[in-house]
Structure formats: structure tokens, C-alpha cells
Amino acid sequence: MLRWGILGTARINRRLIPAFRVATRSELVAVASRTRARADAYAAEWQIPRAFEGYQALLDDPAIDAVYLSLPNSLHVPWTLAAVAAGKHVLCEKPMALLAADIDRIHTAATAAKVVVEEGFMYRHEPLTTKVLELVHGGALGTVRAIVSGFTFSLTDATNPRLDPALGGGSLWDVGCYPVTYARLLTGRDPKMVFGSAQWHASGVDEEFMGMLRFPGGTTATIYSGFRAALRTWLEVIGSDGSLTVPNPFKPGIRETLTLERDGRIEAIAVAGSPELFVRQVEHFAASVLDGAPSVVTHADSRYAAATMSALLDSARGATALYPE
Ligand SMILES: NC(=O)c1ccc[n+]([C@@H]2O[C@H](COP(=O)([O-])OP(=O)(O)OC[C@H]3O[C@@H](n4cnc5c(N)ncnc54)[C@H](OP(=O)(O)O)[C@@H]3O)[C@@H](O)[C@H]2O)c1
């Protein structure tokens, strides 16, 4: 069994806690909060056996093997490195880092400590993604020429860390990371250049982001993220011989229908999803720790994500749009 502790009392934990309970070979044993009162109240509410005041106290406990890290984005790197230094395996929420160099630091530290550190892109573990990649890489669309994808939702809480630049806020880091990472999965390549344009919030974070990634051979990905439009996610892949429309690409439902259009014919492809999202991610992480299974989201993937989004933001700020660094 892998004994898990959670750092912080984030909203997203509500989705992970049921997953830890359903997942085989995982056991949720502890939570830590910045305050004693919140740690105790949270542990009672969610029936978590142990509560810690302060994240380091949880990391110092030898009865915990792995941590789930769902703190605001700018705290991902320091607490991942602290967890690794304490000998813990880490499942860190996206984005794991805001700089590619920080992924390198995490990689070096995790390799030396012989622990698993993986970025939490849940969609990577879901059957819908497997099916999309099987179709695209199997040549169902011919050569991929264009990818159009995005993720928006309406953010109304002015105190949310997503609007705070010091906490790694901004729509690109928060939800733009999904289309940006999916584009590289589909093309199997790093982009050669990126272009970005943002609508800035008064705090300095991007509230809306439009980006273009140009891949070797001329394939483009047009990505969109934002906090001002209604909740919506989309992905279309257009190839030389056909196109594929993917519903709910980043949080697949229990049953989704892909639309494959070729030679004027439309084919509906049903894909069964997971009864409980995040379970596959937790179970695969446990397999990586307990059996040595290779991570689904590699450090190279995480490095690409950090480097590409940094370059997109640089472009939007008017700096160089050249890629790679
Ligand atoms: N994979 C997904 O589908 C998904 C979905 C949503 C979010 N996420 C990711 O999960 C992470 C958390 O997002 P969330 O919206 O769930 O977080 P949230 O509700 O804002 O909670 C963040 C937690 O971090 C702790 N914290 C420590 N320092 C803080 C500070 N200065 N300001 C605010 N909170 C602080 C707090 O816990 P204590 O006070 O108890 O210590 C707080 O409960 C983000 O990295 C986000 O990108 C992933």
C-alpha cells in the first residue's frame, strides 16, 4: 500500500479524496494545513486519520510515503523539493513549475533521492485520450495540420489565487496548460515557435489568452484559455484526410462520442470513460512507486509545458517569441 498525505485543503482535493479511497493499493492517511484549526476540521470532515499543522510536519512523518500537492501554483516547486528532500514521492498538480529550469531542478533532486515525482494531468490517464492518440497516430486523419483547442470558465471570486501573480495565477497556467500539452501529444514534436496574446487583469495575470504554436512541418495549434467566458472545453484535430472532434477532452465523462469526418462520411466513435475521475492517475502513480512502472507524464513533458507557456507569456508581453530557449 502507498500511504498518502495531502498538503493543504484545496478545493480540488474533493475530487482526489474519493479517488484515493477507490484506488487499489492507496491509502489516505493524513492532511496538513497552514493552521491547526483548519487541519483538524478538514480531517474530521473528510475522515482522514491524521492532521498536521504545517506542511513540513507532514513531510517529516516517516509513516507517509507519498504526498499529493495541490497548493497554489507558485508553491509547487518549493514544496515538491521539500517533499523530495524528505524522501517522499510527489504527485504535484499542474502546472508543476512556471520555469523549465525548475523542472530540471526537480528532476535532478528526484533522481538522486530515488523518488517518483509526477505532474498531475489527469486527462493523460483516461481512455478518451488513449483513443484520440490511437486514431491520430494511427493515421486516421492523414497528416495533422491544425489543432484547435481551449478551456474557459467564469471566475468571479476576486480573492482567488488564480488572479494573484505572486501565486502563479493566470488563465494560461491554470487551464491553458491543457490545450498546450495536448498539442504536443498529438504532434509528437516540440513547437518551433510560439505567439501569444493576452487580455491582462489589473493584478497583472492574463485573464484571457490566445496562443499559436507552430510545429515542425508547419502544423499549427491554436489555443485559448480564459476566466471570462462560460465553462467550455474543446478540441478539434484537422488532418490532410479528415478531422476529429473530441468532446470534454480534459475531463472526460463516463461515455463520450468522438466525431470522425473523412471523405464526406461522419463516423461516431463511442468511448467509455471512468466512473470516478482521478482514480486511474492515482493507481498509475502507485504502480510507478511500487512496481517501477514508467510515469505517464514524464519530466520531459513537464519541461515542455513550463517552457512553452513561459515562451507564450513572453510573446504576449512583447518579448521574443522564439522557441526553444
Ligand atoms: N487537475 C485538476 O483537474 C485541477 C482542478 C483544479 C485545480 N487544480 C490545481 O490544484 C491546485 C489547487 O487549486 P484549487 O483551486 O483547488 O486551490 P484552492 O482551493 O485555492 O486551495 C489552495 C490551498 O493551498 C493552501 N495555501 C497555501 N498557501 C496559500 C496561499 N498563499 N493562498 C491560498 N491558499 C494557500 C490552502 O490550504 P491550507 O490553508 O489548508 O494550508 C488552500 O486551501 C492548483 O495548482 C490548480 O492548478 C487541478
Given pLDDT bands bounded at 50, 70 and 90, which one contains residue 124?
very high
For position 198, what pLDDT does the model report? 95
d(CA 95, CA 262): 36
Cβ-based neighbour number of residue 85 at 10 Å = 13
Is residue 172 scored above 50 in pLDDT?
Answer: yes
Contact status, residue 16 vs residue 6, Cβ threshold 8 Å: yes
For position 323, what pLDDT does the model report? 54
d(CA 207, CA 259): 31
User: For residue 166, which amino acid is it?
Assistant: A
For position 321, what pLDDT does the model report? 47
179 lines ligand 1 (CB under 6 A): no
The pLDDT of 62-78, averaged and rounded, is 98
User: Candidates 40, 48, 71, 277: which one to mutate for ligand 1, based on the most atoms within 8 Å of Cβ?
Assistant: 71
57 lines ligand 1 (CB under 6 A): no
For position 325, what pLDDT does the model report? 43
94 lines ligand 1 (CB under 6 A): yes
Domains present along the chain, CATH in parentheses? 2-120 (3.40.50.720), 124-277 (3.30.360.10)
List pLDDT tens digits, range 12-47.
999 999 999 999 999 999 999 999 999 999 999 999
Please report the atom of ligand 1 found closest to the CA of residue 173: 47
Nearest Cα residue to atom 23 of ligand 1: 10
Contact status, residue 25 vs residue 89, Cβ threshold 8 Å: no
d(CA 91, CA 17): 13
What share of the chain in percent tops pLDDT 90? 98
Provide, for the chain, the percentages of residues in helix, strand and coil under a 3-state DSSP scheme, each rounded to the nearest 5: 40, 30, 35
d(CA 118, CA 321): 28
3-state secondary structure 65-100: CEEEECCCHHHHHHHHHHHHHCCCEEEEECCCCCCH
Contact status, residue 288 vs residue 116, Cβ threshold 8 Å: yes
Given pLDDT bands bounded at 50, 70 and 90, which one contains residue 318?
confident
* Residue partners of 174: CB distance under 8 A and separation at least 6: 73, 162, 225, 227
Q: What angle do CA 9, 93, 200 make, to 5 degrees?
A: 95
| Secondary structure letter of residue 322 according to DSSP | B
CA of 1 to the centre of ligand 1 (A): 26
226 lines ligand 1 (CB under 6 A): no
Q: Three-state SS for 108? A: helix
**What residues act catalytically?**
94
Rounded to the nearest 10°, the torsion over CA 111, 114, 115, 119 is 20
Nearest Cα residue to atom 6 of ligand 1: 12
Please report the atom of ligand 1 found closest to the CA of residue 38: 40
d(CA 103, CA 312): 17
Mean pLDDT of the chain: 96
Q: What is the CA radius of gyration of the chain?
A: 20
Q: Which three cell numbers stand for residue 177?
A: 496548460
Is residue 312 scored above 60 in pLDDT?
Answer: yes
* Beta-strand pair 232-239/2-7: unpaired
d(CA 165, CA 179): 21
- 191: closest CA among 200, 199, 182? 182
The single residue listed with the C-alpha cell 478518451 is 128
Contact status, residue 128 vs residue 249, Cβ threshold 8 Å: yes
91 lines ligand 1 (CB under 6 A): no
Is residue 228 scored above 50 in pLDDT?
Answer: yes
